[in-house]
Amino acid sequence: MTEFSGPAVAESQAVLTIDLGALAENWRALAKRVAPAECGAVVKADAYGVGIEAAAPALAKAGCKTFFVALPSEGRRVRAVVPHAVIYVLNGLFAPSVPMMIAHDLRPVLGSLDDAALWAKAGRLRPCALHVDTGMNRLGVAPGDVDAIARMDLAIDVLMTHFVSSENANDATNDIQIARFASVRGALPHARASLANSSALFLPQKPYGDLVRPGYALYGGNPTPGAANPMRAVVRLEAPLLQTRIVEPGETVGYNAQWTAKRRTRLATIGVGYADGLPRAAMGIDDRLGGEAMIAGVRCPFAGRVSMDLTVIDVTDVPAEKLPGATAVLLGDGITVDDLGLRAATIGYEILTRLGARYYRNYVG
Ligand SMILES: *Cc1c(COP(=O)(O)O)cnc(C)c1O
């Protein structure tokens, strides 16, 4: 339960609780699943919104040695809190970043022939990874270019690729990508193979290679959509009710009157809005369900548009005597990041990475 007291809560109203124990447990569960392959951790985008400075040391303490970030700035932040970490920068090598990559001992994931040439100039013996594109067409060299890069004698310690649809176990693309990767594997026999993101750890093909790269599942997202979530929830978001009111049938709520009361309705207002990362698309409008909050154990729908700093919730089904002192749980008590993503026409990944900066952050575990 969240403790609603103290000056920080008084300033921020909503409390974001981040369970570092659950994060560590999720990492250990995945590490056990893939052993003897090594389990790394993806901590890009501020560790999927939960905070690099808290998450990276917690993961390191659980036994994680290898970290993946998108940007050099994120790599610098991991280096500051986990001095001995092996850190790969997924977004490739950007020429202006080379000095700081070297200064902070960050390993680029080379994603083009230009990247490879640039790193060769920086010093062939500095470790790096090579990303081979097997179907994503986003970053990575073509399979046909791997031989040429192998001849450059770079210190490539990891050969990686990335799945297009690993969350769909029946998607034929998974097998095609595994086969394409296997066809270039021999060009760099000393590099370790890395293919798998969170969902790929649950594919029947078990494409673990030597090093896996889970992100989403570590933070409690469901890597097996459509089936039960095997991971523990890491984030909980809870906000106090600022006020309640009764409206009569026919009255509307919020901007542009997008929700109309069909019955005598009790409404509660919370101080969380789209400026906090609660998607505006989670609005509850007539005849279309939006986001929900758990209030005194009852699932309550959003009413009307989510505004910048405020959201209104239909709490009619909560017994009135339970409302004084009650809070609205937006994430937690059975409401997952995947649920909110679905109700907001997005995915749980976006819910996590947009978790707002105005919440009081309470790290536990
Ligand atoms: C983000 C990312 C991952 C982690 O993916 P999840 O689905 O969050 O586990 C792994 N590899 C690469 C290249 C990525 O960009």
Q: Which atom of ligand 1 is nearest to the CA of 48?
A: 8
**What pLDDT shows up at residue 76?**
98
Average pLDDT over residues 92-113: 97
185-197 confidence digits (pLDDT tens): 999 999 999 999 9
pTM value is 0.96
CATH number of 36-219: 3.20.20.10
Alpha-helical runs (H) found in 18-128: 20-34, 44-48, 52-62, 72-81, 98-103, 113-122
Q: Coil, strand or helix: which one is 41?
A: strand
Q: H or E stretch including 321?
A: none
Ligand 1 binding pocket mutation candidate from 34, 68, 165 (most atoms within 8 A of CB): 68
The fold of 235-364 is Lyase, Ornithine Decarboxylase; Chain A, domain 1 (2.40.37)
132-157 confidence digits (pLDDT tens): 999 999 999 999 999 999 999 999 99
Q: How many CA atoms lie within 13 A of 264 on its CB side?
A: 1
**What pLDDT shows up at residue 147?**
97
Where are the CATH 2.40.37.10 domain residues in the chain?
235-364
Report whether residue 214 contacts ligand 1, using a CB cutoff of 6 Å: yes
Average pLDDT over residues 344-364: 97
Report whether residue 222 contacts ligand 1, using a CB cutoff of 6 Å: no
Report whether residue 196 contacts ligand 1, using a CB cutoff of 6 Å: no
Residue 9 pLDDT exceeds 80: no
Catalytic option among 44, 208, 216, 219: 44
Report whether residue 131 contacts ligand 1, using a CB cutoff of 6 Å: no
Mean pLDDT of the chain: 96
Tokens (6 digits) for 17:
């609780």
**What pLDDT shows up at residue 253?**
97
Q: Coil, strand or helix: which one is 260?
A: strand
**What pLDDT shows up at residue 157?**
98
Q: Which atom of ligand 1 is nearest to the CA of 218?
A: 9
**What pLDDT shows up at residue 3?**
62
| Distance, CA of 295 to CA of 303 (rounded, Å) | 14
Where are the CATH 3.20.20.10 domain residues in the chain?
36-219
Question: Is 255 annotated as catalytic?
Answer: yes
231-263 confidence digits (pLDDT tens): 999 999 999 999 999 999 999 999 999 999 999
Report whether residue 198 contacts ligand 1, using a CB cutoff of 6 Å: yes
% of the chain at pLDDT higher than 70: 98
Ligand 1 binding pocket mutation candidate from 197, 201, 202, 208 (most atoms within 8 A of CB): 197
Ligand 1 atom 12 nearest Cα: 162
Residue 1 pLDDT exceeds 60: no
Q: Which residues contact 152 (CB under 8 A, 6 or more apart)?
A: 116, 117, 120, 124
Please state, in angstroms and as integers, the Cα–Cα distance from residue 217 to each residue in 48, 97, 167, 213, following that order. 10, 30, 11, 10
